[in-house]
Amino acid sequence: MSASFLQIALILGILVVLAPILGSHIARVFLGKQTWLDSIIFPIEQGIYRLSGLLSLTTMTGWQYSRAVIQSNLVMGILVYLIFLFQGVLPLNPTELGAPSWHLALHTAISFVTNTNQQHYSGETTFSYFSQVLALGFLMFTSAGTGIAVAIAFIRGLTGRPLGNFYQDLTLSITRILLPISLVGAIALLIAGVPQTLAGPAVATTLEGNTQFIARGPVAHFEMIKLLGENGGGFFGINSAHPYENPNGFTNLLQTIAMMIIPAGLIHTYAIFAGNRKQGWLLFWMVFIIYSICVLIVAIAEYEGNPLVNSLLGSAAPNLEGKEVRFSWASTALFGVSTTGTMCGAVNGMHDSLMPAGGFITLSNMFLQVIWGGQGTGTAYLFIYLILTVFLTGLMVGRTPEFLGRKIEKREILLASVILLIHPIGILIPGAITLAFPDTLSGISNPGFHGISQVIYEYASATANNGSGFEGLADNTLWWNLSTSFSLLFGRYVPIIALLLLADGMMRKQPVPETAGTLRTDSILFTGVTAGAIIIIGALTFLPILALGPIAEALQIASF
């Protein structure tokens, strides 16, 4: 037990050290300051701008930035959708796979372009190398880059700067952040045993004399951007539980750090833009403490195991159902909280097999979206809670609601409310419709309270752009592919538009001097109030469905 918790502590310690380093690098990139990559990357960026006709990069308004995001994502999504439909006649298809159904292809294209990577298929039996690498791999970079670009534009607006140009921000996100780290990480994974080959499946003869086909492919580079970009979509059906995606403890540690490092680093990036490192560290520690508590809850629940199984064994034992023994229950608990907290969606074990406490925490992470939050947009959600907390505390104590020297008024609260209300709409309405027709629509594989969690988890995963699932759900159907596509689009683009409009409005406000009536936001007290507001707002919105799912399941197990 001590070794398992020491493993968790080691990963958390590495995160604390690396997050401010990467956060500072991201800030230097988007503030236009010199970095060590300039001499290598600058000529490449200029070539990209020339080829795309973007030599004159003018700053954009909130609406212009939003349109650029949607238009570029629409073009990329259509291109990838067509690749899927014609993959049977395209190269790099050693197993001669045909096209998937139109609705699965549509869902997959939408899922990857929204940085969700929700998979209603097994990669090795559905998509060719061409589709995996040149379609899905392409979207893994561009969707992650889109999230970072939106976060930077939002931070610029909050701190009184022009929003910038989306195409330049997208290019910088890929060339200065995602691509260099992915290259180094992919080499590390390759050395550690993750395959990278265009050869077809290996053929082996078993001891019984039967022939076995072992799927493989260009996995190492795919795996790194999967984690670093908060994508989460696996090359193989069982994702990071597959020995070719995640063969040992070192690769598991690298993947866990990779999925958290950019969301955690962006908090420090904000602090540099705002010129307030103190507030950055306070926010970092607030999220870190909530995250650590979540990890502890899940880890203890998995360590104590299932009381029904323990009664049969005659002694207490960890819950090993759905776990890869090479990672242990502790690593699966940490990975599960991290992947749902960062909206990554990769898994190294079956979330469907977690104890009810694990289901409660993973669902709650996707409901809140700030621990650590999705690629870029999760950081923006954190500041939405800050703005609401400023407004609420200002009302309570009679102080002027101001944030970073700019007044918080009706328009900002309206947009912030829209951003937070999108989430329950995208989860609860389609979830209620699905549960109303359990025999024809739901595809539930577990009866009772756990079945409710399966359905709600799928829509929470789609709306939060997470992508993981309580697998066992029969989700490759017309209903699931189309209904979750709605949640994917609704949960991605409506908040992005609202975030950019809010940032644009804040940027245009005249800064007001700080007075005795100004509420300071860089104090331990205010940070604590913000943490309380996050938990209370999340509880008020989603506690009923949590009570019907994991809470009821926990009480049911305890009653036996």
333, 362 Cβ separation under 8 angstroms: no
Count the neighbouring beta carbons within 10 Å of the beta carbon of residue 85. Answer: 16
333, 302 Cβ separation under 8 angstroms: yes
CA distance 296 to 337: 10
Half-sphere exposure of 17 (CA within 13 A, CB side): 7
- First and final C-alpha spacing in the chain: 27
Q: What is the DSSP letter of 205?
A: E
The pLDDT of residue 58 is 87
Task: Please provide the DSSP assignment of 20-69 as one string.
Answer: HHHHHHHHHHHTT---TTHHHHHHHHHHHHHHHT-SS-----HHHHHHHH
CA distance 110 to 77: 6
Q: Could you identify the residue written with the tokens 């022009």?
A: 162
Q: Which of 124, 330, 138 is nearest to 222 (CA)?
A: 138
Q: What is the DSSP letter of 236?
A: S
Contact residues for 408 (Cβ-Cβ < 8 A; gap 6+): 387, 390, 391, 394, 401, 402
Instruction: Please state, in angstroms and as integers, the Cα–Cα distance from residue 206 to each residue in 209, 213, 244, 388, following that order.
Output: 5, 10, 19, 62
465, 114 Cβ separation under 8 angstroms: yes
Phi, psi (deg, nearest 5) at residue 70: -70, -45
Contact residues for 118 (Cβ-Cβ < 8 A; gap 6+): 107, 111, 233, 345, 458, 461, 462, 466, 467, 469, 484, 488
The pLDDT of residue 517 is 64
112, 231 Cβ separation under 8 angstroms: yes
Q: Which of 66, 33, 75 is nearest to 153 (CA)?
A: 66
Tokens representing 20 are 């401010």
Contact residues for 429 (Cβ-Cβ < 8 A; gap 6+): none
Q: Domain extents for the chain?
A: 2-559
Task: Please provide the DSSP assignment of 495-541 as one string.
Answer: HHHHHHHHHHHHHHSPP----TTBPPSSSHHHHHHHHHHHHHHHHHH
CA distance 434 to 483: 9
Count the neighbouring beta carbons within 10 Å of the beta carbon of residue 560. Answer: 7
Burial of 211 (0-12, 13-18, 19+ CB in 10 A): exposed
Q: How far is CA 372 from the centre of its chain?
A: 9
pLDDT truncated to tens, each residue of the chain (560 aa)? 566 778 888 999 999 999 999 999 999 999 989 888 888 888 888 888 888 777 667 899 999 999 999 999 999 999 999 999 999 999 999 999 999 999 999 999 999 999 999 999 999 999 999 999 999 999 999 999 999 999 999 999 999 999 999 999 999 999 999 999 999 999 999 999 999 999 999 999 888 889 999 999 999 999 999 999 999 999 999 999 999 999 999 999 999 999 999 999 999 999 999 999 999 999 999 999 999 999 999 999 999 988 888 888 878 889 988 888 888 888 999 999 999 999 999 999 999 999 999 999 999 999 998 888 877 677 788 889 988 898 888 877 777 788 878 888 889 999 998 898 898 999 999 999 999 998 888 889 888 899 999 999 999 999 999 999 988 888 999 999 999 999 999 999 999 999 999 999 999 988 877 766 667 788 898 899 999 999 988 888 899 999 999 999 999 988 87
CA distance 128 to 140: 16
Pairing of the two strands 402-403 and 211-214: unpaired
CA distance 14 to 53: 41
Tokens representing 500 are 């950019």
Residue type, 3: A
Q: Which of 375, 381, 366 is nearest to 158 (CA)?
A: 381
Answer left, alpha or beta for residue 512, where phi above 0 means left and psi between -120 and 50 means alpha. Answer: beta
Computed on alpha carbons and rounded to an integer, the radius of gyration of the chain in Å comes to 23
Count each helix (H run) and each strand (E run) in the chain, helices first. 21, 4
The pLDDT of residue 2 is 64
- Report helix, strand or coil for 343: coil
182, 148 Cβ separation under 8 angstroms: no
Tokens representing 467 are 């992508």
Tokens representing 33 are 């300051």
The pLDDT of residue 170 is 95
Which residues are bridge partners to 196 per DSSP?
218
Burial of 405 (0-12, 13-18, 19+ CB in 10 A): middle
Instruction: Please state, in angstroms and as integers, the Cα–Cα distance from residue 52 to each residue in 33, 45, 48, 167, following that order.
Output: 24, 11, 6, 10
CA distance 253 to 83: 34
Q: Could you identify the residue written with the tokens 């670009």?
A: 149
18, 256 Cβ separation under 8 angstroms: no
What does pTM read for this prediction? 0.94
Q: Could you identify the residue written with the tokens 């939405």?
A: 384
